[in-house]
Structure 1
Amino acid sequence: MNRERTAGAVLTVLSVFGYGVGVVASYPGRSITIVGVMVGVTLAAIGAGGDGA
């Protein structure tokens, strides 16, 4: 696995977890989890494409 795909997967999982926590108990900055999911999915998609050569 390359760095972009790994970082995307980790960021997506953490952001979804943060979103779930935000549904149960509101906290400042919880809306940033949506941005985290979008960036994580983008990084995973970039990492999944081609071999970079």
Structure 2
Amino acid sequence: MNRVRLAGIGLIAVGVVGYVVGVSVAYAGRAFSLTAVMIGITLVAIAPRTAARAEP
């Protein structure tokens, strides 16, 4: 798995957790959790399907 896809998955997870916490407890950073989810989805979408392999 490449780093871009892994970073995207991590941002999606952090964003979803932040949003769930924001629904139950009001805090000012809930909008940032939505931004993290959107950026995470974008990173997953633009990440290459396979890792580049070095040619011998």
- The number of aligned residues is 52
Long gaps (5+) in structure 2: none
Contact 2:8-2:43 at 8 Å conserved across structures: yes
In the alignment, the residues of structure 2 paired with residue 29 and residue 6 of structure 1 have an alpha-carbon distance, to the nearest angstrom, of: 23
The residue identity in structure 1 corresponding to 2:21 is: V
TM-score normalised according to structure 2 size: 0.81
TM-score normalised according to structure 1 size: 0.85
Long gaps (5+) in structure 1: none
Larger radius of gyration: 2
RMSD (Å) for aligned C-alpha atoms:
1.5
**Kindly, what percent of the aligned residue pairs are identical?**
44
Alignment of 1:1-53 (within 5 A): 1-49=1-49
